[in-house]
Chain A
């Protein structure tokens, strides 16, 4: 392995990448669109979104609130009065409302839709606390403890705080995987790999050059996504955000190894693309890239521990949002490097130079 060889190869690979519009689109623009879609909706300030509540007929809980509680309640809910039960339920089903409230005697029933887990959980949680309070009041008991929740992340968390780390993790994983897989397959298909085998080029030089290029790409992604999230989507970075750099670097190695595996197993570009999608996309869903793991069913959380992307996503959340320090990245980085070693070692045994 020699420095000049690595530099020449890396330069050639990098030029090939930046001149490939398709690759640029999927690496930068596509994730950026997701970021704005997912992160933009509720972004733009510290205001917690109010839940839409359909109230059927008379519900004493809502109607007879004491004035100060009324104030809090109105901050949290937008109430629509209705008598049409069916229409109200349909609204929840369609996602136009977060819940339907009705009273049958002493039973207060909340109808919610599991389709919107976040909305449903919010409505359930807040309403049940109002019910508790009302119960205490009607029993004539002065509450012994009062509870006030204050978020550590100053005031309320804009949704972008949770969206950005996961989406960045997904974007980095995708481009590292596809980059490695497609380079390997196209170079094998075009016989460039064999051509390089006939040049005084060590195999390790090719790998190192590819790693350098992948790291440059991944860190550029990180920079672009962070800057646009901070500027346009109101992302607030915690002081230890810079720890996302080593996290992304380790993640890149892991997913390059996965990409190499896909490229080693597949014969064609299409095969490699399909295989990489098959690995990365479900992994993104199960690792909290598209919705927070805190809200995911238990089985998903259990599965996520087996997936390297989970460690990247959670690590990013820890340092970018949750305000944890360097200690929080040690385990994720070690786990990801472990994955990289095992999968990379396996791939290097499977890699072929020849088409046939």
Chain B
């Protein structure tokens, strides 16, 4: 089957800034696809070109086999888009909001109410949108993109301005989005979010594609050592150096960090010495991937 989205050598320049600089990737049907990068990386620009909101300066884009630019009303019916800012009609309640969108897409009121329940806003149906919390607004915005039961859903930083609790709630909702074979494309600058949700992640920076793979593969490819931190009193540094499998030891304030590529025997030995109190194990994350790819620390 042909990919749902095909992007080849995509270029977009604003004045002399190359916001998107030769991107190539494709997204398969049913995939949960992430575009990950720091502020200004070109995520929104890329997404909006694929959606048909912007005209590319170069390269080629196919969405569901068709060209999204110029405006293609048939495509509009088959996709759902959440923009980076939540765009609502002024002074309508949540229900009126989603019903209006339903009517525009030719969906019925029952479907609108069902989606509102699905995102957990059933009891906020009669609240004006301006009185909803940030997380509730995001949910409503996502509900509005789902009202036409789209084949492809685009979400631009859906958890951008949310606190950790609201973010996790949102993830629960997003996780199920591609269950029924729907394709989901999401941009984020949260490494954690990409790892939690995405089947594959395109890491972009300054408009260029740095890597494209599943989060696990990206991390594995780093072949980064595991860092095991134990409380300083539990073990002295010299003893730690002599443990089998430990490559190096770092003393970091009141903890000792054992760096190893073979954590299993190290952990067993620590357990035998009853040094497991307050133990922390940290493998490589996408953050390390980013650091490795760019040589810069990741600042979202």
A and B from one complex = yes
Question: Of residues 159 to 206 in A, which have CB atoms within 8 Å of B's CB atoms?
Answer: 186, 190-192, 194-201
Q: How far, in Å, is A179 (CB) from chain B's closest CB?
A: 12
Partner of B89, one of A7, A16, A191, A200: A16
Chain A residue at minimum C-beta to C-beta distance from B71: A197
Question: Of residues 124 to 160 in A, which have CB atoms within 8 Å of B's CB atoms?
Answer: none
Partner of B104, one of A13, A194, A196: A196
Bound state CA distance, A11 and B92, in angstroms? 10
Query: Could you tell me if B104 and A201 are in contact, using CB atoms closer than 8 angstroms?
Result: yes
Query: Could you tell me if B103 and A190 are in contact, using CB atoms closer than 8 angstroms?
Result: no
Query: Could you tell me if A16 and B87 are in contact, using CB atoms closer than 8 angstroms?
Result: no
Q: How far, in Å, is A86 (CB) from chain B's closest CB?
A: 59
Partner of A199, one of B84, B92, B96, B101: B101
Contact residue range for chain B? Answer: 20 to 34
Q: How far, in Å, is A91 (CB) from chain B's closest CB?
A: 52
Bound state CA distance, A194 and B82, in angstroms? 11
Bound state CA distance, A194 and B54, in angstroms? 10
Question: Is A224 among interface residues, defined by CB-CB distance under 8 A?
Answer: no
Given contacts A195-B87, A197-B53, contact A8 B104 (CB under 8 A): yes
Chain B residue at minimum C-beta to C-beta distance from A19: B91
Query: Could you tell me if B96 and A12 are in contact, using CB atoms closer than 8 angstroms?
Result: yes
Question: Is A80 among interface residues, defined by CB-CB distance under 8 A?
Answer: no
- Interface-facing stretch out of B73-81, B281-289, B290-298: B73-81
Query: Could you tell me if B73 and A198 are in contact, using CB atoms closer than 8 angstroms?
Result: no
Q: Which residues of B contact A8 (CB under 8 A)?
A: 100, 103-104
Query: Could you tell me if A5 and B103 are in contact, using CB atoms closer than 8 angstroms?
Result: yes
Bound state CA distance, A306 and B281, in angstroms? 79
Query: Could you tell me if B103 and A4 are in contact, using CB atoms closer than 8 angstroms?
Result: yes
Question: Is A81 among interface residues, defined by CB-CB distance under 8 A?
Answer: no
Bound state CA distance, A195 and B154, in angstroms? 12
Query: Could you tell me if B53 and A200 are in contact, using CB atoms closer than 8 angstroms?
Result: no
Q: Which residues of B contact A194 (CB under 8 A)?
A: 53, 83, 87
Bound state CA distance, A5 and B101, in angstroms? 10
Question: Is A70 among interface residues, defined by CB-CB distance under 8 A?
Answer: no
Query: Could you tell me if B96 and A198 are in contact, using CB atoms closer than 8 angstroms?
Result: no
Query: Could you tell me if A200 and B52 are in contact, using CB atoms closer than 8 angstroms?
Result: no
Q: Which residues of A contact B91 (CB under 8 A)?
A: 15-16, 19-20
Question: Of residues 34 to 91 in B, which have CB atoms within 8 Å of A's CB atoms?
Answer: 51-53, 71, 73, 76-77, 79, 81, 83-85, 87-91
Bound state CA distance, A199 and B79, in angstroms? 9
Interface string of B223-267 (1 = CB under 8 A from A): 000000000000000000000000000000000000000000000
Bound state CA distance, A196 and B87, in angstroms? 9
Question: Is B105 among interface residues, defined by CB-CB distance under 8 A?
Answer: yes
Q: How far, in Å, is B171 (CB) from chain A's closest CB?
A: 24
Q: Which residues of B contact A186 (CB under 8 A)?
A: 90
Q: Which residues of A contact B53 (CB under 8 A)?
A: 194, 197-198
Q: Which residues of B contact A195 (CB under 8 A)?
A: 81, 83, 87
Query: Could you tell me if A12 and B87 are in contact, using CB atoms closer than 8 angstroms?
Result: no
Q: Which residues of A contact B71 (CB under 8 A)?
A: 197
Q: How far, in Å, is B94 (CB) from chain A's closest CB?
A: 13
Given contacts A12-B96, A190-B85, A194-B53, contact A199 B104 (CB under 8 A): yes
Interface string of A8-26 (1 = CB under 8 A from B): 1101110110011000000
Q: How far, in Å, is A269 (CB) from chain B's closest CB?
A: 12
Given contacts A8-B104, A12-B100, A190-B87, contact A198 B92 (CB under 8 A): no
Bound state CA distance, A198 and B145, in angstroms? 10
Partner of B88, one of A19, A192, A197: A192
Query: Could you tell me if B81 and A198 are in contact, using CB atoms closer than 8 angstroms?
Result: yes
Q: Which residues of B contact A190 (CB under 8 A)?
A: 85, 87-88, 90
Query: Could you tell me if A198 and B76 are in contact, using CB atoms closer than 8 angstroms?
Result: yes
Partner of A12, one of B73, B81, B92: B92
Bound state CA distance, A194 and B92, in angstroms? 18
Bound state CA distance, A294 and B79, in angstroms? 61
Given contacts A11-B100, A15-B96, contact A199 B76 (CB under 8 A): yes
Q: How far, in Å, is A291 (CB) from chain B's closest CB?
A: 36
Q: How far, in Å, is A180 (CB) from chain B's closest CB?
A: 14
Q: Which residues of A contact B90 (CB under 8 A)?
A: 16, 20, 186, 190
Q: How far, in Å, is B52 (CB) from chain A's closest CB?
A: 7
Q: How far, in Å, is B42 (CB) from chain A's closest CB?
A: 15
Which of B51, B53, B90: most chain A CB closer than 10 A? Answer: B90
Query: Could you tell me if A12 and B105 are in contact, using CB atoms closer than 8 angstroms?
Result: no
Bound state CA distance, A199 and B104, in angstroms? 7
Partner of B51, one of A5, A16, A192, A198: A198
Q: Which residues of B contact A199 (CB under 8 A)?
A: 76, 101, 104-105
Q: How far, in Å, is A201 (CB) from chain B's closest CB?
A: 6
Interface string of B82-123 (1 = CB under 8 A from A): 011101111110001000110111100000000000000000
Q: How far, in Å, is B269 (CB) from chain A's closest CB?
A: 57
Given contacts A5-B103, A5-B104, contact A200 B77 (CB under 8 A): yes
Bound state CA distance, A192 and B52, in angstroms? 15
Bound state CA distance, A9 and B89, in angstroms? 9
User: Would you mind naming 29 contact pairs between A and B with Cβ atoms under 8 Å apart?
Assistant: A8-B103, A8-B104, A9-B100, A12-B89, A12-B92, A16-B91, A16-B92, A20-B90, A20-B91, A190-B85, A190-B87, A190-B90, A191-B85, A192-B88, A194-B53, A195-B83, A195-B87, A196-B104, A197-B53, A198-B51, A198-B52, A198-B79, A198-B81, A199-B76, A199-B104, A199-B105, A200-B73, A200-B104, A200-B106
A positions within 8 Å CB-CB of B: 4-5, 7-9, 11-13, 15-16, 19-20, 186, 190-192, 194-201
* Other contacts beyond A12-B96, A16-B92, A200-B105: 7, CB < 8 A: A12-B89, A192-B87, A192-B88, A192-B89, A198-B51, A200-B77, A200-B106
Shortest 9 CB-CB contacts between residues of A and residues of B: A8-B103, A195-B87, A16-B90, A191-B87, A19-B91, A192-B87, A12-B89, A200-B76, A16-B91
